[in-house]
Amino acid sequence: MFNVVFFIFYAVCLNIIYNFRKLVILKLILKCKTIFYATCHLSGEFFLLMWTLYGASKGPFY
């Protein structure tokens, strides 16, 4: 009886640890994706700003 209870407890603990690791890895991936998208968005806005300033420096008919 003790072996069965210990085995079930061990299986439950392993399941909790596995799911926790999966959750942490998933959060890390989502965080990296968010940082990546924010960086791409900011670099795109920076490029648009520079392009606009470049066009403005050339005059209205370039």
Which amino acid, one-letter code, is at 25? I
pTM: 0.44
- What confidence tens digit (pLDDT) does each residue in 32-62 have? 777 777 777 777 788 878 877 777 676 666 5
pLDDT of residue 61: 61
Q: Which token pair is 44? A: 């795109």
pLDDT digits (tens, 9 = 90+) for 8-27: 777 887 787 777 777 777 78
**Residue 1 banded pLDDT, cuts 50, 70, 90:** low
Among the listed residues 41, 39, 37, 45, the one whose alpha carbon sits nearest the alpha carbon of residue 53 = 45
Q: Where are the domains of the chain?
A: 25-56
